Amino acid sequence: MATVALVLHNDRPAAAQLAREITGWLAHRGHAVRIPTVDAECAGLGEHGVDTSELGVGADVAVSLGGDGTMLRAIELVARAGVPVIGVNLGQLGYLTEVEPAGILDALSQFFTGSYLIEERMMLHVSIASASGSISVTEATALNEAVLEKTVSGHTVRLDVEINGSYFTPYATDGLIVATPTGSTAYAFSARGPIIAPTHRSLLLTPVSPHMLFDRSLILDAETSLRITVDGYRPAALTVDGRQLGELHEGDAVICTAADFVARLVIFGPRDFHRILKSKFGLSDR
């Protein structure tokens, strides 16, 4: 029998209802269900609650019930353990999710019979060197991006960039985004960065409203190490896949590299990236 981890959006009643339905279906077939304690309590499934550190240990698959934000959270919780994730779209855009709510039980049946594919996505590792002590977290991982942004309206922040240990240039900007190919269609997309096929391996550096002549994105090799240091008295807020980690001050830095593990997304047939782009962004056929 399998062990299935469920991660759900805590503010969507539909996610809680679907979690109860899935849990009953799995339990009836002898499968074990794990749910983060907070999620389990929201869904009325407290007996299945576990600490997030235990969620992916020995699990066969995780199911994300929500939108892309819930999918990012599920991946952050289980990717290091190599657990594949099925995304159920209870959000709006649903760019990362594969399955609609009505199809999740069929999808689980297919998974248990081996009728699925795994799509691997590069993840980002973020090391934080905070000499100021303003951020206690020392590392984080992301499927989409790490962002350093200004904190004071009407002012830019100065960020110095090193590439593979060599100084590149200072940026006077509203922010800098370091994204994976998956993240190229997230915040970097809204900052007019390029779209990169999600199974590619690379780092994307995109400035947000730069106040300088050089305003282009850089697509860098996946083995690149990017160091971004705050220069000057204006702080920069650090956000990793939507998680606000705090502020960096002068001399504080982040180092971004490819993670040594990948996100494993469950798909049920070859994924047509160009078709998904057309659908999600409303591109029309001739």
Q: Which two tokens stand for residue 43?
A: 């869904």
Q: Which two tokens stand for residue 225?
A: 């190490």
Sorted by sequence, the CB contacts under 8 Å of residue 232 that are 6+ apart come out as 157, 158, 250
Sorted by sequence, the CB contacts under 8 Å of residue 197 that are 6+ apart come out as 181, 273
Burial 161-171 (b: 16+ CB within 10 A, else e): bbbeeeeeeeb
Rounded Cα–Cα distance for residues 71 and 138 (Å): 23
Is position 39 annotated as part of the catalytic site? no
Handedness of CA 172, 149, 277, 82 (dihedral sign): positive
Residue at 109: amino acid letter: S
Check 39, 68, 241, 252 and give the catalytic one: 68
Count CB atoms within 10 A of the CB of residue 53: 9
Question: Catalytic positions, please?
Answer: 68
